Amino acid sequence: MGEYFGGFNVRYDYKKKSRSAEGAIFNIFISYSTKDSDKIKPVLDLLSTIQDTKIFFAEKTINPGDDISQTIINSIKNSDVFIVFYSESAIKSNYVQQEIGMAKTSGKIIIPVLLDSNKPTGTLGGINYLNFYDPTKQQIEMKRLSNFIIQAVKSKRRKQNLWTLIGLAGIGYLLSRSDEDEYEY
């Protein structure tokens, strides 16, 4: 049975990956306090249904024996978007605060998601956030987040396709030039 969250009946299966996680082109880093894990599961489920995404969620992504700090640093640097679930617990979490700092210095798109009445301050001050704490806004905010990620994935896919075409055109040009050079003496 799923949880009802923001008008969405969702159930997160940690064993399930995004439909094409192996070929994911869009990496999402999730920063959160482990005390909020149950609260964020519905959002993770929604995000996991978006094609071509890969979600970094420390509890389930970091493998036994991994260097935790290095894995987190690499995952933030490789992420396309950094989502921080903001709450009293997150404010008190050293890991969350360090992750925010790393995302900020890496120039990542940061999306704060409010889980309680605490509003982002400090390094997150002035960043537009999503309010999942207010039950009257949850459904709209979930759709905003989902639509943003879907559009970002499409945009990144278009850019990758464009660079592939440019690369192929360049190779074609070089091959045509090498054919011409063969016959010039």
Contact in structure between 111 and 43 (CB atoms under 8 Å): no
What number of CA atoms fall less than 13 Å from residue 54's CA on the CB side?
Answer: 15
Single-letter residue type at 92:
K
Q: Is 167 contained in some domain? A: no
- What pLDDT was estimated at residue 4? 41
DSSP assignment, residue 17? P
User: Domain for residue 177, yes or no?
Assistant: no
**185 within domain boundaries:** no
Supply the pLDDT for residue 10. 40
86 bridge partner residues: 114
> Which residues span the domain enclosing 150?
3-156
Overall domain count for the chain: 1
> Within a 10 A sphere around the Cβ of 20, how many other Cβ atoms?
12
Q: What is the pLDDT of residue 183?
A: 55
CA angle 73, 159, 163 (to 5 degrees): 100
Considering the domain boundaries, does residue 180 fall inside one? Answer: no
Say what the pTM is. Answer: 0.76
Q: Is residue 161 part of a domain?
A: no
Token couple for 154: 């499409």
181 belongs to a structural domain = no
Q: What is the CATH number of the domain that holds 35?
A: 3.40.50.10140
What are the mean pLDDT values of the chain's consecutive 10-residue runs (185 residues total)?
Answer: 42 39 77 94 90 91 93 96 97 96 96 95 92 92 93 86 71 68 55
Q: What are the angstrom distances between the C-alpha of 5 and each of 104, 114, 141, 184?
A: 29, 14, 11, 70
Neighbours of 127 (CB within 10 A): 13
